[in-house]
Structure 1
Amino acid sequence: MIVDSLHNASKYYSLHPNFKKAFDYVNQNDISQLEDGAIEIGEGLKLIAISGQGSTKEESIKGFECHDKNIDIQISIQGPETFAWKPREKCVNPNGTYSDERDVRFFHDKPDTFFELQEKQFAILFPEDVHSAMIGEGALRKIVIKVAV
């Protein structure tokens, strides 16, 4: 997992060939004006704009998840937004089976830690990062860029 500000995004371009393309899209478009929903922004890149009311930690961790085929770049537009996190290697209580169609695997485990993103900050969550999000008070807005591994 990586947590940083958009100002420093270029430091991570070398980690995946599509990271530069993903952050270029963010820098060249007004992401705060995107309507909720999903759009393809390049081969192996899907952007999802999400708005909603923040939830409690207890409610959010019901969706404690990870992905096998995608890396998430989650960028806060309006927050602050709190995330729950734990390494997949420490998760031992699956919640159902892996959905290949949705590329999601859920767990009943408790998070190891919580962290917060402010506006224009991002988290890169790799397949080994079990996470839940949208924890906070009031209206939250974010984008998630799915980067195919």
Structure 2
Amino acid sequence: MIIDTLSNSDKYVSLHPRFAKAFEFIKSQNLAAIEPGKYQIDGPELHAGVTDRQGYSREEAKFECHNHWLDIQVCPTGKEQIGWSARERVSSPKGEYNAEKDVTFYDDKPDTYFTLQAGQFAIFYPEDVHAPQIGEGMIKKLVVKVKL
């Protein structure tokens, strides 16, 4: 997992061949005004989704990870809490792996929580189990999906 500010995103473009286009897309948006929906960035292996929904409590948040996709998550306005654990530390899958959606959910609880604020991003790799959109009120979320 990586947490940093969007102003430092150039430091990470060498970590994956699609990161340059992903961060270019993020930084070209008016994040305060971006509308919920799906956004094509560069073919089927790089796309984004924006949601604007009621925040979850820590108990309600979906604790998940992916096998074939990376997430670059941005909180366009305000702030949100995100729970995190290393995949090697979780042991209670909540059902089977969903290959179509590339997601496994867990009943475990995160080891740690952090706050993601406007102007920041988090990158979640397959070894990062994460529980996003924790907070009160409406939380706008931008997630860029990057194929491994």
Question: Would you say same fold, with TM above 0.5?
Answer: yes
Task: Return 5+ residue gaps in structure 2 as ranges.
Answer: none
Any stretches of 5+ residues in structure 1 without a counterpart? none
| Residue 47 of structure 2 is aligned to residue 42 of structure 1 | no
Match of 1:147 in 2: 146
Alpha-carbon distance, 1:90 to partner: 1.0
Answer yes or no: is the 8 Å Cα contact 1:78–1:139 preserved in 2: no
Give TM-score scaled by structure 1 length: 0.94
Contact in 2 for aligned 1:84/1:111 (Cα 8 Å) = yes
Tell me the equivalent position of 2:77. 78
CA drift at 1:33 = 2.6
Percent same amino acid among aligned pairs?
46
Indicate if the aligned counterparts of 1:98 and 1:104 stay in contact, CA closer than 8 A.
yes
- Specify the alignment match of 1:87 in structure 2: 86
| Runs ≥4 residues deviating over 3 A | none
Measured after TM superposition, the shift of residue 140 of structure 1 is 1.0
Contact 2:75 2:116 survives alignment (8 Å): yes
**What secondary structure, in the 3-state scheme, does the structure 2 residue paired with 1:71 have?**
strand
What's 1:102 paired with?
101
Q: State the 1:22 CA deviation.
A: 0.4
Partner of residue 117, structure 2:
118
Deviation at 1:78, TM superposition (A): 1.8
Cα RMSD of the aligned pairs, angstroms, is 1.0
- Cα distance in 1 for partners of 2:22, 2:13 equals 9
CA contact (8 A) 1:57 1:135 kept: yes
SS at match of 1:26: helix
Deviation at 1:117, TM superposition (A): 0.5
Residues paired across the two proteins, number = 147
Deviation at 1:5, TM superposition (A): 0.5
Compare the two structures and name the one with the higher helix fraction.
1
Residue type of the alignment partner of 1:139: M
Q: State the TM-score, normalizing by the size of structure 2.
A: 0.95
Separation in structure 2 between the aligned mates of residue 31 and residue 101 of structure 1, nearest angstrom = 29
2:60 aligned partner: 59
Would you say 1:11 and 2:15 are equivalent positions? no
Q: Deviations over 1:57-107 (max 9, x none)?
A: 1111xx110001100000011221000000111111111011111110011
Deviation at 1:125, TM superposition (A): 0.4
